[in-house]
Structure 1
Amino acid sequence: MLEKGVSPQRISRTALFEEVAERLRARIFAHDLPPGSWIDEQAITAEYGISRTPLREALKVLASEGLVTLTPGRGCNVTALTEQDLDEIFPILALLEGRCAFEAAARMDAPAQQRVRTLHETLEGHFTAGDIEAFFNTNQLFHLAVQEIAGNRWLTQLIQDVRQKLKLTRFHSLFRDGRLQESLEEHRAIVTALLEANAPAAQAAMENHLLQGRRAMGRMSTR
């Protein structure tokens, strides 16, 4: 019941700047706006048919997410992660996802076991077929499944926040640079530990998987 003197207010639709932020976010993740590139505000406002106000509000949102960098007097650029950034991010992600695997192993029941088996069998099938895109997508689903089985929403939120930053990198291209076989073998170790409900082993295997991913990116950057 409304308090006396308070008039009802209708809930407004999504603010324009939020829609603009979502569109730009998608373009950044697709590398249509690649890391380090300058955001041409005039071109974007003309393309979207908007004024600069919602665009600048959208850029503030993306800056708060670490996806763009605002420099007074110089405009805005898509954030480019350095090698040091990656050296700092991956151990954090390994710790978070390792803990997630630990908790998932402790909660494994028959439906969870079947879910893990099915996803891994699908992953093996994509590897055999040489379908890199499908392998990458199923790999993402596998990691999400482990998070959902763990059932720790705080861990999931932290992991997703960190993984969002990695979309600024060539992480996807790891699967095109000889990493496929290594990744599959690491997944096998994770799956074995999960199905055995061996929490410490699942944690160690997941941490190793993420850290090996970082090493593979390092090898790729030196080519």
Structure 2
Amino acid sequence: MVDPIPLRGTSLHDGVAARLRAMVFDNQLVPGQWIDEKALAVQWQVSRTPLREALKVLAAEGLVELVPHRGCRVIALTEDDADALFPVMALLEGRCAFEAAKKAGDADLHTLRRLHDELERHAAAHDIEAYYRANHVFHAQVQSLASNRWLDRATGDLRRFMRLMRGRQLALPGRIEASINEHRVLIDAFEQRDAARAERAMHDHLMAQLVALKKLRGTEAKAAPHAG
């Protein structure tokens, strides 16, 4: 649901960009959807100018594409995009886990354990949406604990595109159970302060997501001809 609260302030287009970005990540604006600038301008009580400037920001980030004489639509990642993105993200997140395991203090590990326990609860309830959100927080926390600004920049840039898929692979039957098992290996590696094992576990966790996504797409493709 679109937030009706008017946007105000000197950096108006920044606020509009933040709201649009959140709508993309929350799937309120879905991949391939055309963005109705006029409707949003009315709902948010802003002129078209800051809205268009905000869309340029999101286009520069790769989240939307500006189509001449048509408008702007949310980017839709292809299977080839996923095949290329996941291995790179696996390397980056694996490195995040390695550095986080080396640098994390007792309080940091306590935070990771608390986040993991939240994942356990959502997995037990088979709440895919809540699990996806908690999983994002867990991975972001590992990235933060790595405390490497260059790694943070590269990982953060690509994480935006991972979020476009919104953990679709979790819809594959049995995937949420497999995912929490992968997280159990990961949290154990952190608590044992085994950086190399944490790196392998995180890398394998990301690659398992790609395998699950491809299986899900295959299942959906087979079911499509029989739909309706």
Moved more, 85-94 or 192-201: 192-201
Q: Which runs of 5+ in 1 are unaligned?
A: 1-11
The aligned amino acid for 2:120 is E
Matched residue pairs, number? 211
Cα distance in 2 between the residues matched to 1:209 and 1:87: 15
Cα distance in 1 between the residues matched to 2:195 and 2:216: 32
Q: 2:62 aligns with which of 59, 66, 81?
A: 66
Give the direction of change, closer, same or farther, for the CA distance of 1:130–1:95 in structure 2 (3 Å limit).
same
Cα distance in 2 between the residues matched to 1:124 and 1:164: 25
- Tell me the residue number matched to 1:91: 87
Q: Are 2:53 and 1:57 aligned?
A: yes
Q: Are 2:171 and 1:173 aligned?
A: no
Cα distance in 2 between the residues matched to 1:108 and 1:52: 46
The aligned amino acid for 1:147 is Q
Q: Are 2:184 and 1:191 aligned?
A: no
The aligned amino acid for 1:80 is A
8 A Cα contact 1:35 1:80, kept in partner? yes
Moved more, 174-183 or 113-122: 113-122
The Cα shift of 1:18 comes to 1.8
Task: Tell me the SS of whatever aligns to 1:77.
Answer: strand
1:141-168 CA-to-partner distances (Å, cap 9, x unmatched) read 3212222322223322322221112222
- Tell me the residue number matched to 2:110: 114
Give the direction of change, closer, same or farther, for the CA distance of 1:214–1:107 in structure 2 (3 Å limit).
same
* TM superposition score normalised by structure 2: 0.82
8 A Cα contact 1:108 1:195, kept in partner? no
1:92-137 CA-to-partner distances (Å, cap 9, x unmatched) read 1111110011111222433333333333233223323333333333
- Tell me the residue number matched to 1:148: 144
Cα distance in 1 between the residues matched to 2:37 and 2:119: 42
CA RMSD of aligned residues (A): 2.1
Moved more, 176-185 or 112-121: 112-121
8 A Cα contact 1:105 1:198, kept in partner? yes
8 A Cα contact 1:107 1:149, kept in partner? yes
Whichever of the two has the greater Rg, that structure is 1
